[in-house]
Structure 1
């Protein structure tokens, strides 16, 4: 039977008043052999205790609180209400000089307080037992293990116990490496052992889901833990936001999905803030491709250094609007720079010159490019127009209007390219470095590998396939790639720009190459599936793809590391005039002939 909130409050008040009446009777029966209590005094105390409780109970909001969340705060408030009632009652009797018994008054309020507190606690106990019973015998819960018995783990466990929605989760234990926490009980759940015993604990307790509750883990520790969990037959997630936990609205679906980027185990990049502050503060910064994965993250990082203006240049109006809106509403920087969205196409040479003339930027980050290898194989003319001529337009416009620094974002696919996208980026590299002249715009290139989480990268694609229950498709099981996170790449791009003197190709330290099929297997297992449930299919290498990517060809390798994770490659290539001559010569080419000439020219530049 369900009652409205008003009916529940009325029932609670009637029960409390019943407790007070019973307390008066019990106190009378207990003290009447020792103290003379006349009928008039008894009636006066009954009415006074009821009246004071109603008045003070309303003042302290005792009747509108949810009993299932009864805590120490509610008990303290009940104590204060009865203490004040006793003091007020005695004061009234003293003032009217009425013959009364203090012991009787205090005993009434003491018994009333104990009865009402016990009733509240009993109600909470019964509600929790009912919910626990329902979860235990519903047969639809997931047996869950929490890794971390610290503050976060305790908060999460307490929230599970309190949540009326967590009927699909049953916590069977906690895991923690701290020796003082071994085999202790927290909120009725036992710490079963350290992480090294994880496999045995999962088997012994038939664990189906693991929830991580250790926010303090650094990327390397998290990577190590995820690699171990990836070999175990359980679904892995992490605790949701503190706000979600505080609301108690916890179900399996509310658990935060594992960020598979953590499988890289890459530590956060620390920027040389002073150098970047000098370069970006109170300056006008222009970012092409501002709505893209890398371009938008560059914008987020640039805003932290409080430039005067940030020009968000992009071809897609929706993506530019999204990053402008995000920076306007979410940025904690003060004052916020003037954000200027510019919808423009870098292939439009005249428009690029007009924009440079109008805004006079001090620094340009050129992130706009077509990067999808198979699509560019089918559209080589567009790869040439956008990645080569588009870069030429932006770079020459920047130089003509006196931009101080120009940084182009490149790719490891520009090294010994086997596809037109990589060839177009290699030609663009030669254009940018070739435009550098002493005393004019400092042109530089930043080259790095695949960025996890960017549009078209493997992790979002694998996640989508897993969620839909489809087989994961890998073009070749031998394939490896260099990977970096979006924030890491963007920070290193900014850092490289601050180090540029002109004409350099900066190479970012990508760590060790990752085998794609192993990444797919880990993602399957961490999502709670087996290789039988989610298969991995080899589809064959697509046109233009390589088995292994490189960041430098042999002759470009240079030992010098400028700062941590940033190297300068000894990259030469053709002169700007030779590149221009080549571009004139391929103007009439199309399709496969254009692809062949661009790839051959790009590879010759590295010999």
Structure 2
């Protein structure tokens, strides 16, 4: 990262804020970080924490829907980390075209701006909901992945994708929702058998850094995330509190998938990650295994939250919640 210029779209969000803090702490020799976001209030709040007078930061108000603004943002950049998205499933279900404008058309603007400015590397944050999508948000993230992998062909710019799981305790996740609802004397449970993958924010940062440092372009990088049961989260937060089954919301799945059966033929295992290799392009699965000592997964491999081999216990969840509440008061 020495002397690199890096642009973070959606840079004032939970990931962007954490990533900026990580870069400033661990890569003090970075040349410049441009924080790109359409939320001016978050710019003001973030600038109080990381003032540009003290750090090599530029705060740039802009929307990835604005092609000209993206062109300007990508000028002289070495690396782009694309984290901007419309991400709330119910909101996307009710406003599908608005989701498409940001999560699909906006992504194409990021790609075109990166290519026009000869950016070396672009990393996009996708989601486990992109695998066999059941909602508008998941479909838009699948489209993002396809756009990025297509852009990687025959271009000098490397486009890689990291597939996120739920970041434990993040805004909009089940943990703060349950913490708020427990005061009402009950917890609403969508389905007693529901499961989800989970990663910490640090694991999310590590995932993006792995892509920056080891990405070849054209791949999807998937963390080996543990699963949790929604009932275990409820028990960890409020043992003994009543559970009321409210039903699965439109677009929700009972279990999530990080690697689908249709991707198994292109997927390899490397340390704490699965790598979905491109089926076309300058490199393939066999080459990746040879160069990185990676191992192909089984022919019928699937990575689903309900059939995971690693689970978060009630005690583990309770410990993480305690850390979150102490950190945020």
- Normalised by the length of structure 2, the TM-score is 0.80
Instruction: Give the alignment partner of residue 549 of structure 1, picking from 252, 256, 269.
Output: 256
Give the direction of change, closer, same or farther, for the CA distance of 1:535–1:320 in structure 2 (3 Å limit). Answer: same
* 8 A contact 1:294–1:454 mirrored in 2: no
Distance in 2, matches of 1:399 and 1:571, equals 20
Give the direction of change, closer, same or farther, for the CA distance of 1:572–1:380 in structure 2 (3 Å limit). Answer: farther
Residue 322 of structure 2: aligned partner: none
Residue 327 of structure 1: aligned partner: 50
Q: 1:249-306: CA deviations, max 9, x gaps?
A: xxxxxxxxxxxxxxxxxxxxxxxxxxxxxxx122111101111111221212222212
Residue 120 of structure 2: aligned partner: 404
* 8 A contact 1:301–1:491 mirrored in 2: no
Distance in 1, matches of 2:222 and 2:139, equals 17
> What aligned pairs does 1:230-241 form with structure 2 within 5 A after superposition?
none
> What aligned pairs does 1:173-184 form with structure 2 within 5 A after superposition?
none
Instruction: Give the alignment partner of residue 523 of structure 1, picking from 214, 221, 237.
Output: 237
Gaps of 5+ in 2: 281-329
Residue 450 of structure 1: aligned partner: 166
Distance in 2, matches of 1:395 and 1:412, equals 21
Alpha-carbon offset, residue 354 of structure 1: 2.1
Q: Which runs of 4+ in 1 moved over 2 A?
A: 320-325, 557-562, 570-573
Report the 3-state secondary structure (helix = DSSP H, G, I; strand = E; otherwise coil) of the residue aligned with 2:80: strand
> What aligned pairs does 1:165-204 form with structure 2 within 5 A after superposition?
none
Distance in 1, matches of 2:112 and 2:14, equals 25
Q: 1:196-228: CA deviations, max 9, x gaps?
A: xxxxxxxxxxxxxxxxxxxxxxxxxxxxxxxxx
Distance in 2, matches of 1:425 and 1:283, equals 28
User: Relative contact order: is structure 1 or structure 2 higher (C-alpha 8 Å, sep ≥ 6)?
Assistant: 2
Distance in 2, matches of 1:399 and 1:324, equals 29
Question: Does 2:25 match 1:311?
Answer: no
Higher CA-based Rg: 1
Alpha-carbon offset, residue 321 of structure 1: 2.5
Distance in 1, matches of 2:274 and 2:47, equals 32
Query: How many residues matched?
Result: 277
Residue 11 of structure 2: aligned partner: 290
> What aligned pairs does 1:523-602 form with structure 2 within 5 A after superposition?
523-525=237-239, 531=240, 534-557=241-264, 560-562=268-270, 564-570=271-277
Residue 88 of structure 2: aligned partner: 372
* Worse-matched range after superposition: 389-398 or 550-559: 550-559
Q: 1:95-122: CA deviations, max 9, x gaps?
A: xxxxxxxxxxxxxxxxxxxxxxxxxxxx
Q: 1:415-463: CA deviations, max 9, x gaps?
A: 0001010000000111011111446111000002111122200111111
Q: 1:466-499: CA deviations, max 9, x gaps?
A: 2x24311121111100011112112221112211
Alpha-carbon offset, residue 344 of structure 1: 0.4
Gaps of 5+ in 1: 1-279, 330-334, 526-530, 574-607
Q: Larger strand proportion, structure 1 or 2?
A: 2
Alpha-carbon offset, residue 328 of structure 1: 3.4
Alpha-carbon offset, residue 337 of structure 1: 4.0
* 8 A contact 2:7–2:73 mirrored in 1: no
Residue 289 of structure 2: aligned partner: none
- Normalised by the length of structure 1, the TM-score is 0.44
Give the direction of change, closer, same or farther, for the CA distance of 1:308–1:351 in structure 2 (3 Å limit). Answer: same
Residue 419 of structure 1: aligned partner: 135
